[in-house]
């Protein structure tokens, strides 16, 4: 998002000076799995704790290895990445899941975010940026190809219109402060914490605190879920 995975600008954030980030790699193409393993194996702050070739195996491996980050394809045999993402939340609730896929279909993107994915990146991402993606997601970022951010917001808008009548009687979302609204709007534009900090002339830690408060108020777990709720509840609107 924002400046893309490279916008994380290297090793700042989680992983350094602490336990290695535990990564599970899931893809039905062995060659692609090997490529990811080779790239990540050279990183001192990242540890590969397992691999899987389909969704069912992925859920089983996640329950055993309890990874911090899962890199997973969407289109796989037996059980799709989206199905695995939903099931994985029960066996490894703290895992951050990044979809790495060749699919730029809006429906796949939207379903992945609804299923709890923290990132959605196309497989044309340079392999030397994958480690930065792992660190950023582990540190609480949500990553989506900038080219797909507009598609995601379009899907959110459709959902908001479709659900407006059904949700008109529900308790409204908790009120966010003006600063939290500013942060949420910039998150929705695809900006990472560093970009938001520069835009608002505040520190990255302050941005993280605002994001944490937003998630707590909305009682959700990911930045993109926050954007979905904000659009649905008309807290923010896009033309």
38 with 106, same domain: the answer is yes
Q: Are residues 41 and 65 in the same domain?
A: yes
Residues 31 and 134 in one domain: yes
Asked if residue 94 is part of any domain, the answer here is: yes
Tell me, yes or no, whether 89 and 112 share the same domain. yes
| Confidence at residue 159, expressed as pLDDT on a 0 to 100 scale | 61
Query: Rounded CA gap, 30 and 217, in Å?
Result: 42
Using CA atoms, how far apart are residues 158 and 152, in angstroms rounded to an integer?
10
What does DSSP say about strands 119-122 and 46-52: parallel, antiparallel, or unpaired?
unpaired
Question: 42 with 131, same domain?
Answer: yes
The answer to the question of residue 205 being in a domain is yes
Q: Let me know whether 140 and 26 are in one domain.
A: yes
210 with 184, same domain? yes
Q: Would residue 72 count as lying in a domain?
A: yes
Last residue of a domain, one of 116, 145, 174: 145
Q: Among 127, 145, 163, which residue terminates a domain? A: 145
| 141 located within any domain | yes
Are 115 and 158 in the same domain?
no
Question: 196: domain range?
Answer: 151-232
118 and 161 share one domain? no
* Residue 41 forms part of a structural domain: yes
- Cα Rg of the chain, angstroms: 17
Q: Are residue 73 and residue 119 in the same domain, yes or no?
A: yes
Per-residue pLDDT tens digits for 1-39 = 433 443 433 444 444 457 999 999 999 999 999 999 999
238 occurs within a structural domain = no
Number of domains in the chain: 2
pLDDT digits (tens, 9 = 90+) for 168-186: 444 455 688 999 989 988 8
pLDDT by residue for the chain (239 residues), tens only, comes to 433 443 433 444 444 457 999 999 999 999 999 999 999 998 999 999 999 999 999 999 999 999 999 999 998 888 889 999 999 988 998 999 999 888 777 778 878 887 888 888 888 888 888 999 999 888 877 777 666 666 666 666 666 566 555 544 444 556 889 999 899 888 877 778 888 999 999 999 999 999 989 888 888 777 777 777 777 767 666 54
Give the end of a domain, one of 92, 112, 145: 145
Q: Is 237 a member of any domain?
A: no
Q: What is the pTM of this model?
A: 0.69
Q: What is the CATH number of the domain that holds 80?
A: 3.40.50.2300
Task: Tell me whether residue 239 is in a domain.
Answer: no
Same domain, 77 and 128: yes
Is the domain of 11 the same as that of 125? Answer: yes
């Amino acid at each position: 998002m924002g400046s893309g995975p490279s916008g994380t600008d290297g090793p700042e954030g989680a992983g350094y000076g602490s336990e290695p980030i535990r990564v599970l790699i899931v893809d039905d193409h062995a060659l692609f799995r090997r490529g990811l393993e080779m790239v990540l194996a050279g990183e001192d702050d990242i540890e590969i704790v397992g691999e899987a070739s389909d969704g069912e195996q992925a859920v089983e491996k996640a329950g055993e290895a309890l990874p911090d980050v899962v890199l997973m394809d969407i289109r796989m045999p037996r059980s799709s990445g989206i199905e695995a993402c939903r099931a994985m939340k029960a066996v490894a609730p703290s895992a951050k899941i990044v979809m790495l896929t060749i699919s730029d279909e809006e429906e796949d993107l939207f379903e992945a975010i609804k299923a709890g994915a923290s990132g959605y990146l196309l497989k044309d991402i340079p392999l030397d940026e994958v480690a930065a993606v792992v660190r950023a997601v582990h540190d609480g970022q949500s990553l989506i190809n900038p080219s797909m951010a507009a598609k995601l917001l379009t899907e959110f808008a459709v959902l908001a219109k479709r659900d407006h009548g059904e949700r008109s009687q529900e308790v409204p979302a908790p009120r966010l402060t003006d600063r939290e609204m500013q942060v949420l709007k910039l998150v929705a534009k695809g900006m990472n914490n560093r970009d938001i900090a520069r835009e608002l002339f505040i520190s990255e830690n302050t941005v993280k605190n605002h994001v944490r408060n937003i998630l707590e108020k909305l009682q959700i777990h990911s930045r993109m879920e926050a954007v979905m709720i904000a659009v649905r509840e008309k807290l923010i609107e896009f033309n």
